[in-house]
Chain A
């Protein structure tokens, strides 16, 4: 069947890139492998049809970001328990690429991290990011703004980091923005 060959081809040809993408989001190799596996299954179980390998890979990447948020949103403790076994079984070394950027991303809450990566690496629009992550567009704007500010504090000035968006600001957000 077409979807099976597409899944197999994406896994064979794009796995390292998808894993690197997931490492940027999750912060660890073990967590990234979980996300990639779940994203493959969620993407192809959804009966989508893909015109190309590139398109399928793009959907898997979106699903990786969505899975990251699901882990944070739901059943966090279950996921932790599931991971108790996997790291011991695989024992793979942690990647070493871009340590400064990865540490800076890891300091962000998952929802903020996912929004920043989808907006600035995947070049999704605010609306597309909101749909992919199940957030409101206002929340996406807020999280991207917060994330850029936090990353700029750790990495130095970034284009767009000083932009503030006119949205409702809670006391917590005001504190975080300082």
Chain B
């Protein structure tokens, strides 16, 4: 459509091109881009080539331990071979799976065989009734081979897994879909809440909210789309709470599918549901000065000013049912370091007189908090950038956020997890029953959303760190796996 604006934009682009005519990407930039692109393309090609011929390698025979008491003691159904899994060998000398010592008090069932398929975690075929045996704390995940982000061809398989608290993986159905996000799953249910869609020419072309049948892989769409809304959690009455950033609207979706919309005024991008499920805090359009508080019970929103004089602030998450954790720093534009003197503050926004309470240095010097997840009352997990490390190693190669847990004034660092030293990024967090779950990925992804490489569970009180979903060994150099992930979605059963 030729119009005034098109002409204005075209003219501005010409003027800008002339003005910036001497601009170059910078010394060494283009070779660096080529190296990054080459690495991603080589790794993707390798992964796809491996998966194109899914030769399953059976490993040794493992006795049936660690899958939960009910599974261990109960009769194990005859496994139904998955379509891509050939019959395993029975030569125990070929195995890599450690064989635990049998419990002499338990009659051991016939040992199911752990199956290893390239691109998937070592797993067992799910026995009949596995869904009904799962309890809160089990993890439902979607594995994919390769990374469909920005891919022109996305016909890679998606496979559902259930993972017990003991770390055993059970393969469920395959899903025919180009991308999928898992939002919530109640232990025992045959369906999980999902959003899914398609790609065209490398870009998302469809976006549907619906339900995924865990045993068949079938997807059922909602009659009414929620577009690009983010699932936040549940309200006290059981309604789903969603936030649509595109329209700054909070959706309350009842179990019968009916929807109520609450306008979040001039809200910004980041929205967090309170632990009680009664309020949503959304960053304001002018982040650092105000936030928008949505009262789900009253179905209304209001702007809440916050901040500390002379400091740049942002809220990171809920400390408890009524107050938020805010981090502030002195902003020194044009100086190095630009930000200094980081402090934490409790901002009470629900009930009571409100106000800001000083919490001291929060995570300590030079740690910039970029996200939080409430674990328990006055316990918050925080993702942060080590600002001082960034300054020591400028540029995107240093992008790797870490995590720590703030327990009522005490800071517990999450230890490094995974198989690769360094370069680990904590890219997502969630909590269940006082335990923190951390999604990890490797390498710098330039801010792209992509599948996880691994998932770990961390108990801040005991310091116990456990791998839940392991890094998939595609073969070759694991450290070159930037841009590749295996876990497209995960959720802890509630």
Contacts and interface: CB of A to CB of B under 8 A. Distances in A.
A178 interface: no
A7 B30 contact: yes
Given A17-B13, A24-B13, A121 B6 contact: yes
Given A8-B30, A74-B449, A170 B390 contact: no
A89 B420 CA distance: 30
A48 B202 contact: yes
19 contacts: A17-B16, A19-B16, A23-B20, A24-B12, A37-B25, A40-B33, A41-B37, A47-B152, A48-B202, A70-B447, A75-B370, A76-B270, A77-B371, A81-B387, A134-B203, A134-B207, A157-B4, A170-B261, A173-B247
Contacts of B447: 38, 70-71, 74-75, 78-79, 82
Contact of B34 (A8, A79, A111, A131): A8
Interface in A1-42: 3-4, 7-8, 11-12, 15-17, 19-21, 23-24, 33, 36-38, 40-42
B6 A139 contact: no
Interface in A55-105: 66, 70-79, 81-82, 84-86, 88-90, 95-98, 101-102
B472 to A, nearest CB: 20
Interface string B385-421: 1010011001110010100000000000000000000
Given A20-B17, A81-B368, A170-B263, 13 more contacts: A3-B37, A19-B20, A24-B13, A37-B446, A71-B447, A82-B399, A98-B15, A120-B3, A120-B6, A158-B4, A172-B249, A172-B263, A172-B264
B390 A81 contact: yes
B3 A160 contact: yes
Interface in A156-175: 157-161, 170-173
A109 B13 CA distance: 20
Given A41-B446, A76-B270, A81-B385, A15 B25 contact: yes
Contact of B16 (A20, A82, A160): A20
B314 interface: yes
A97 B12 contact: yes
Contacts of B245: 73
B166 interface: no
B23 to A, nearest CB: 5
A47 B151 contact: yes
Interface of A: 3-4, 7-8, 11-12, 15-17, 19-21, 23-24, 33, 36-38, 40-48, 66, 70-79, 81-82, 84-86, 88-90, 95-98, 101-102, 109, 111, 116-117, 119-121, 123, 130-136, 139, 148, 151, 155, 157-161, 170-173
Interface residues of B, number: 83
Contact of B391 (A4, A45, A85): A85
Interface string B335-363: 01111000000000000000000000000
Contacts of A160: 1, 3, 5
Nearest to B29: A37
Contacts of B387: 81, 84
A102 B339 CA distance: 28
A155 B368 CA distance: 39
Contacts of B385: 78, 81
A3 to B, nearest CB: 7
A144 to B, nearest CB: 10
B247 A170 contact: yes
Given A4-B34, A24-B12, A45-B36, A123 B6 contact: yes
- Top 5 nearest A-B pairs by Cβ distance? A20-B16, A159-B3, A98-B12, A77-B370, A97-B15
A82 B396 contact: yes
Nearest to A76: B269
A121 B227 contact: no
Contact of A134 (B22, B204, B261, B339): B204
A158 to B, nearest CB: 5
A136 B244 CA distance: 13
A151 B270 CA distance: 26
A121 B5 CA distance: 8
Given A134-B228, A170-B261, A95 B25 contact: no
A147 B395 CA distance: 33
A132 B228 CA distance: 14
B203 A131 contact: yes
Nearest to A110: B269
B52 interface: no
Given A20-B17, A76-B270, A172-B247, A120 B9 contact: yes
A25 to B, nearest CB: 11
A89 B334 CA distance: 11
B265 A172 contact: yes
A78 B266 CA distance: 22
Nearest to A169: B247
A95 B19 contact: yes
A98 B16 contact: yes
Nearest to A74: B449
